[in-house]
Amino acid sequence: MLVNLAPDLRRDLRIRAAEHGLNMQDAAASAISLWLDTPNAPEADVQGAKSWGVFLPVGLPGRFIDACEERHITKVQGMAQAIKVWLDAYPSPDQRLTEQPVQRILVGNQKGGVGKTFVSSGIAQACAEAGKRVLLVDYDPQGHLSSRLQIEGIPEGGESLLRHMTGKAEKHIARSLVALPHDRFGGRLHVLPADEDAFLMDADLAVMQIGRDRALINALAPIEQDYDVIVLDGPPNLGLAMDLAIHYVQRRPGELIERSGILIPVWSDKSSFKAYGLLSRQIDTVEKRTGAVVDQLGFVVNAYDSRKGTVMRAFYEGWQELTTPGTLATLKDAVEGREASDYEVPLLDYAPDSQHAEVMRALAKELTA
Ligand SMILES: Nc1ncnc2c1ncn2[C@@H]1O[C@H](COP(=O)(O)OP(=O)(O)O)[C@@H](O)[C@H]1O
Ligand SMILES: [Mg+2]
């Protein structure tokens, strides 16, 4: 069922559901059932509601729609009421959650040009601007992320991520990092630049005899405690390096569900659905082989332009209807994004008031809430 829901409510629902060990779909179903049994639910604020696809058990959508009609309210109002009622009925567990590990987000999709680099950089910037300590890892051998931030590779005295992953590095990995100088990031945004040797990553990993699955975990472990969030800009293929990145963002013991995981930029076109099918399969394969649980955090539908006609609109709606995961944000095709990349200036510094920047901030807020 497609309903509209304010982002704040959606976020509260996601967090509260996780605190109770539920996924969002189950929490939404529970909320609607509760609301059906609550004849005079208080009116709720529906400002800024955005489309949200939710998968409900058979029969529930019908009963919900009937009840909305009986109560003379819109579906939007009904859904907002249901979630409010549920949030009141299921408060945060008193026992604050045990300390969480560093949050790890892989921005991944083997399809090239869908906006992985744009989105990973944008959310990392937004997180840092909001006060988080962020590590942004350029995990694509092409190094676009680094060059768009005017970073010329690993700094003097540092060694490549691949050397750290294969156990060849001699220096601490902290020496490989570059801090972005812009005031707005307050020195909190660090980049691990790509090195050309990353083109050999799959080959080097393939001959690694022991500890391959943990190569990325081991490489980043010495600096994890210095960060609140680690964002990886994924590679444009589904090779071994991608396997390790998927493995790296797996849910750790005691970690909230849908906190770390994969964020998937997509386009509104047919090949994006195909690409997602392949990516999904690879995630399944890594899970089966290693026993890891890897959360898909959601889609970012990128470069959307409704003026581009009905086909694009139909695919756009297709993404909106997917629910596990769902669409977290839509980025329009806008000039600021391209210019920021071309001029090699971080988006939030180049166009801080642009819609792109606002979407990145909202997305970062939702992901790290
Ligand atoms: N929403 C957007 N509006 C305008 N330009 C965009 C948008 N998203 C990405 N771009 C630009 O499109 C190009 C490809 O995006 P990029 O993030 O490099 O994709 P990927 O990393 O998936 O290959 C870049 O030049 C980027 O700045
Ligand atoms: Mg890229």
pLDDT of residue 311: 84
Residue nearest ligand 1's atom 8 by CA: 115
| Ligand 1 site, residue 143, Cβ cutoff 6 A | no
Ligand closest to the CA atom of residue 108: 1
pLDDT of residue 158: 97
Percentage of the chain beyond pLDDT 90 is 75
Quote the longest CA-to-CA distance of the chain. 70
Residue nearest ligand 1's atom 25 by CA: 338
pLDDT of residue 98: 59
Q: How far apart are CA 298 and CA 53, in angstroms?
A: 12
Report how far apart, in Å, the C-alpha atoms of 89 and of each of 5, 30, 37, 121, 320 are. 19, 11, 13, 38, 29
| Ligand 1 site, residue 108, Cβ cutoff 6 A | no
CA of 184 to the centre of ligand 2 (A): 24
CA of 13 to the centre of ligand 2 (A): 32
Ligand closest to the CA atom of residue 116: 1
Q: 272: which residues sit within 8 A by CB, 6+ positions away?
A: 111, 114, 266, 315
b/e per residue 230-257 (b: at least 16 CB within 10 A) = bbbbbbbebbbbbbbbbbbbbbbeebbb
Is residue 191 within 8 Å of residue 231, measured between CB atoms? no
Helix (H) / strand (E) containing 27: helix 24-36
pLDDT of residue 97: 56
pLDDT of residue 14: 86
| Ligand 1 site, residue 112, Cβ cutoff 6 A | yes
Partners of 266 in the β-ladder: 301
Query: Which residue has better confidence, 318 or 127?
Result: 127
| Mean pLDDT of the chain, nearest integer | 93
Two tokens, residue 66: 């009937």
CA of 143 to the centre of ligand 2 (A): 8
Ligand closest to the CA atom of residue 114: 1
Average pLDDT over residues 42-56: 87
Burial (CB count <10 Å: 0-12, 13-18, 19+), residue 214: middle
For a substitution probing ligand 1, which of 111, 118, 144, 342 has the most ligand atoms within 8 Å of its CB?
118
| Ligand 1 site, residue 235, Cβ cutoff 6 A | no
pLDDT of residue 335: 92
Q: How far apart are CA 270 and CA 315, in angstroms?
A: 7
What atom of ligand 1 comes closest to residue 265's alpha carbon? 22
pLDDT of residue 15: 85
CA of 146 to the centre of ligand 2 (A): 10
| Ligand 1 site, residue 302, Cβ cutoff 6 A | yes
Two tokens, residue 304: 């959307």
CA of 79 to the centre of ligand 1 (A): 35
- The confidence band for 253, taking pLDDT boundaries of 50, 70 and 90, is confident
CA of 145 to the centre of ligand 2 (A): 7
CA of 169 to the centre of ligand 1 (A): 33
pLDDT of residue 96: 52
Q: Do the bridges between strand 189-192 and strand 178-179 make them parallel or antiparallel, or are there none, so unpaired? A: antiparallel
Q: Is the pLDDT of residue 281 over 90?
A: yes
pLDDT of residue 94: 62
Query: Which residue has better confidence, 145 or 100?
Result: 145
pLDDT of residue 209: 82
Is residue 14 within 8 Å of residue 5, measured between CB atoms? no
Average pLDDT over residues 103-128: 97
User: Where in the chain are the domains?
Assistant: 2-89, 103-368
User: Among 49-63, 82-96, 186-200, where is mean pLDDT lowest?
Assistant: 82-96
Two tokens, residue 292: 């890891």
Two tokens, residue 322: 């997917």
CATH class of 103-368: alpha beta
- The confidence band for 55, taking pLDDT boundaries of 50, 70 and 90, is confident
